[in-house]
Amino acid sequence: MMEDEYQLEYFKSEGLTRNICSSCGKAFWTRNPDRTVCGDAPCEPYQFIGNPIFRAKTVDEMREAYLSFFEKQGHTRIDRYPVAARWRDDIYLTIASIADFQPFVTSGVVPPPANPLTISQPCIRLNDLDSVGRSGRHLTCFEMMAHHAFNSDEKEVYWKDRTVELCDQLLTSLGANKEMVTYKEHPWIGGGNAGPSVEVLIGGLEVATLVFMSLGKQKTEKPPIELEGTPYYPMTLRIVDTGYGLERFVWASQGSPTIYDAVFPEMVSHVMQEAGFGHRLHDPDFIHILGENAKFAGLMDISGQRIFELRQKVADKIGIPPDKLEKMIAPVESVYAIVDHTRCLSYMLGDCIVPSNAKDGYLARLVLRRTLRMMRELDLPDEKLGDLIERQMKIIGLSKFEQDSDVVMEIVDREVDKYRTTMERGARTVERLAQTYKKKCEKIPLDEIITLYDSHGIPPDMVKDLATSQGAVVDLPDDFYSRIANMHSESEQVQEKNPLYDYLDRLAHLPETRKLFYERPGSMEFEARVLEIFDGQYVVLDQTLFYPEGGGQPGDTGLFLTPDGLTVRVCDTIKLGESILHRIDGGIVRKGDMIRGILDEDRRLSLMRHHTATHILLHAAKEVLGAHIHQAGAQKGEYSSRIDIRHYKHITPEELKKIEVVANRLVMANSSTSIAWEDRTDAEQKYGFCLYQGGVPPGSRIRVVKVAGDIEACAGTHCAHTGDVGTISIIRVEHVQDGVERLEFAAGIAAIQHKHHQEDLLNRSAEAFSVQVEALPATSKRFFEEWKEQ
């Protein structure tokens, strides 16, 4: 279907021929016309172990060589993005370099930060979690070195021929023999986009993928191409999306038995020393075993139930029993996995992900607890985990992380304590479940084991050990953790059916409602013309001061005054498409009328104070609790509001007081609120992705609101100065779920009313005891003690 896409002039000029692999049946391009296999595993075994492809380099040296090469070829080097994909609402973790630019750059909504550009992007993928350590090549966290070019009708940068030519030149510059390189045809799909791609293979190892992204799911006038049953349409942009595996390049440059020995030599040696056994890389027999294991793992899919099959093949090859091989190699594989996982956790926690039971926090806890389980298998103390992560952060470079390492260590310590508690409580739960299925003479279903892990945090190995000791039967798949990770890797896009969507077609002919609430935020009255009325209930005006519900802020209410002198109550305001609908409660409004709109001033001002106070409190919480603080949700109200924040422990009364004091100092500073529409790319580069506290707004330009040090993309209404908030009073803090704390607060007049309510309660309590308010604590304690003695 895409054969013509691979007929490159560069291939022809360099003398490459298109052959069909005798093993997998896929097409590939080679400089050797007699070559019969594509060069990919499992069609061809690894050739580079003990026989390096490139000149030997460390991780840092290889990264610099790559980025410098592309800088010399006219590319702009850009900094990495966080591994927490805050700019996306469909995925939690950054899984590829192109994810940095989806969806807004790849769809043409915003320009790229540079064009062409080069980057080395740390990525996290947990879909092969169970294979890490075992296969010799799998990683949870890896760096995708990449160069990207964004071609449009207005600007042609370069396309397929130049991309392959650059790849050839890079490989040659690193010392590779390009006669060994093959380019395997492989249509690519990802992130809603697709296109032809070639996998770059050398020595049996895939070192890069060159994707030519030219298709998307959005319909165009051009006919679609069907891939895996889904129609894809030609895009406006044609994007060069390359991915070069940094760690694989380092591995191929050293020819070591496993990727872990090439990438993590210091950490592997350290963990093995801590576990009480040496890494026998000086022993040729041991190196041979590791190498053969990696080679056979490269020839097969070791997911599911196939780890025993891998053991059997390697054991037969080297002439020892499988159980002896298992005893010899399993501890080493655990060390490899621990080293990989601690680097993954360094990026997760260093980029301010807070372990929890939801979203990216769930994935961080999944990796952390799997690491602890393997550490226990090697008799490494739980407390050692923090040290290992700190070592990894120092190797990577502490300055590359937003979160302070001391906070990371505290997070890890608390997670260790929670894990211990879970293990203690989990034993009783598993024993009850085991007895239930033992009586039924049934095997414990996998769904039950998944529920135990998902809902209670009980690891599957613990379930198997305890259940087996109770006489129950458990059959665990080798890829259990990979299945769990895949279940939680993408955000659930739940869209409720809004009955107002039925009006969208009828709104299409109307002009966009002019947003006077942005132009004149302090005004409370305006005039406008009625453009449309739906079902006698929803009124569309040409312009409005009424703010529509959004971002946790309720829609404005108020009145319409009609030309006939009638008063019509506006009880809600909603944005639908580019129009703003005003829901009226009774009354008659006619299409074409000029009406006068009057906002409920007290309500609007209270909502403005609470919305501004939300920004102030978020900044105060960051100042008191740490850089990891991120908004998990918010709801503004007229009399009180709430903000949910991600935090790894309960907020103490002392911390709560500090937050309130810091917030009110910011109020008293009476600093100006800055609001400006900025280009998305420029704003992200200036302020980072902490912009997206309340979700990711659409469009090429975003409304950036700066309040007392807090900088966010925000659509709400705000006070002109922090002093206009009046005062902020935190009413209570609530632990709504693991890793999320809720602050309920009041601002302005509402804060004073809350204070009055608290004083009334105290005074009534004092009257009931016939004491002064100051004597209440001692009196209530005395009454309680007397009650206990009765």
Specify whether 590 is located in the same domain as 687. Answer: no
Specify whether 626 is located in the same domain as 732. Answer: yes
The alpha carbon of 315 is separated from its chain's Cα centroid by a whole number of angstroms, namely 40
Specify whether 461 is located in the same domain as 522. Answer: no
Length of the chain: 790
DSSP-assigned states of every residue in 3-35:
GGGG--HHHHHTT-EEEE-TTT--EEEES-TT-
Identity of the amino acid at 81? Y
Domain residue limits at 110: 44-256
Whether 770 is in a domain gets the answer: yes
Q: Any alpha helices (H) in 470-557, and if so which ranges?
A: 480-488, 504-507, 516-519
What's the whole-model pTM score?
0.90
Within 8 A by CB and 6+ apart from 64, the residues are none
Q: What is the pLDDT of residue 303?
A: 59
Q: What is the pLDDT of residue 205?
A: 94
Whether 548 is in a domain gets the answer: yes
Q: What phi and psi, each to the nearest 5 degrees, are found at residue 402?
A: -80, -35
Q: What is the pLDDT of residue 722?
A: 98
Whether 6 is in a domain gets the answer: no
Q: What is the pLDDT of residue 459?
A: 82
In terms of Cβ atoms closer than 10 Å to its own Cβ (0-12, 13-18, 19+), residue 178 is: middle
Whether 15 is in a domain gets the answer: no
Within 8 A by CB and 6+ apart from 2, the residues are 185, 187, 196, 225
Give the end of a domain, one of 488, 518, 533: 488
Q: How far apart are CA 127 and CA 249, in angstroms?
A: 22
CA distance to 431, 446, 474, 487, per residue, from 424 (Å): 12, 22, 20, 26
Closest CA to 385 of 333, 344, 328: 344
Specify whether 86 is located in the same domain as 110. Answer: yes
Specify whether 594 is located in the same domain as 609. Answer: no
Q: Dump pLDDT digits (tens) for 407-450.
A: 999 999 999 999 999 888 888 888 888 888 888 888 888 888 88
Whether 29 is in a domain gets the answer: no
Are the C-beta atoms of residues 462 and 499 closer than 8 Å to each other? no
Q: How far apart are CA 358 and CA 532, in angstroms?
A: 43
Specify whether 237 is located in the same domain as 381. Answer: no
Q: How far apart are CA 239 and CA 190, in angstroms?
A: 13
Q: What phi and psi, each to the nearest 5 degrees, are found at residue 526?
A: -160, 170
Specify whether 243 is located in the same domain as 308. Answer: no
Within 8 A by CB and 6+ apart from 610, the residues are 636, 637, 638, 640, 641, 745, 746, 747, 748, 750
Specify whether 474 is located in the same domain as 511. Answer: no
Whether 774 is in a domain gets the answer: yes
Structure-block tokens of residue 713: 């993309």
Specify whether 304 is located in the same domain as 401. Answer: yes
CATH number of the domain that 207 lies in? Answer: 3.30.930.10
Strand order in the sheet with 631-635: 631-635, 641-646, 740-747, 728-737
Give the end of a domain, one of 584, 599, 614: 599
Mean pLDDT, consecutive 10-residue segments, the chain of 790 residues? Answer: 88 97 96 95 89 96 98 97 92 94 90 96 93 90 98 94 98 96 92 90 95 88 83 91 98 94 95 84 76 69 62 78 83 95 97 91 94 95 97 93 91 95 86 86 87 83 84 81 81 65 85 96 96 93 96 94 94 94 91 96 97 98 94 94 95 97 98 96 92 90 96 95 97 93 96 90 86 85 80
Give the end of a domain, one of 488, 513, 541: 488
Are the C-beta atoms of residues 619 and 666 closer than 8 Å to each other? yes
Specify whether 445 is located in the same domain as 304. Answer: yes
Q: Rounded to a whole number, what is the largest CA-CA distance in the chain?
A: 102
Whether 159 is in a domain gets the answer: yes
Are the C-beta atoms of residues 426 and 462 closer than 8 Å to each other? yes
Q: Dump pLDDT digits (tens) for 213-239.
A: 999 888 877 888 888 888 999 988 999
Specify whether 67 is located in the same domain as 116. Answer: yes
Are the C-beta atoms of residues 717 and 603 closer than 8 Å to each other? no
Q: What phi and psi, each to the nearest 5 degrees, are found at residue 590?
A: -110, 145
Structure-block tokens of residue 559: 């009145």
The alpha carbon of 746 is separated from its chain's Cα centroid by a whole number of angstroms, namely 32
Specify whether 197 is located in the same domain as 133. Answer: yes
Q: What is the pLDDT of residue 298?
A: 62
Q: How many domains does the chain contain in total?
A: 5
In terms of Cβ atoms closer than 10 Å to its own Cβ (0-12, 13-18, 19+), residue 712 is: buried
Whether 7 is in a domain gets the answer: no
Q: What phi and psi, each to the nearest 5 degrees, are found at residue 762?
A: -65, -45
Q: How far apart are CA 371 and CA 344, in angstroms?
A: 11
Q: What phi and psi, each to the nearest 5 degrees, are found at residue 703?
A: -90, 105
CATH number of the domain that 622 lies in? Answer: 3.30.980.10
